[in-house]
Amino acid sequence: MAQMYRLKLELDGYAVDVAGDGITALEKAKTIRPDIVFLDLRLPKLDGLAVLERLRADTSTAAIPVVILSNWNEKEPNHAGPALPAPERLAEDLGSVPSPPKGSNQKARVARP
């Protein structure tokens, strides 16, 4: 999944860096300070929700926008995810993503190239 998004973003002119596991993702977020993080829940070494929790707990990464991208269909991550501050949520199975509250103007934030 990461390579698909990487290709699309690079073709659109964005600089993209991919981490193969949660520990590496945290290290890269702290050193690179990306404009946005696309985060999969199913990461080895440290899962995506733990990565998100640690990003939000660290003042140097807390303000980085995070978009969760996952095809996880189990209920637990969907219930845990909203408890953490990541309002931008996407999934391959769009039927599993709740609609934003009526009247909400939440939009995904996208970094400019």
Residue 32 included in any domain:
yes
pLDDT digits (tens, 9 = 90+) for 11-36: 999 999 999 999 999 999 999 999 99
Tokens at residue 56, please?
């939000």
Written as one letter, the residue type at 38 is F
CATH of the domain at 27: 3.40.50.2300
- Tell me whether residue 112 is in a domain: no
- On whether residue 52 sits in a domain, the answer given is yes
Domain count for the chain: 1
Q: Is residue 101 part of a domain?
A: no
What is the reported pLDDT for 92? 41
* Regions of the chain with pLDDT less than 70: 71-113
Burial of 68 (0-12, 13-18, 19+ CB in 10 A): buried
Q: Can you give the residue range of the structural domain that contains 90?
A: 2-96
Q: What is the pLDDT of residue 84?
A: 52
Give the pLDDT score at 88: 47
Is residue 47 assigned to a domain?
yes
CA distance 111 to 95: 26
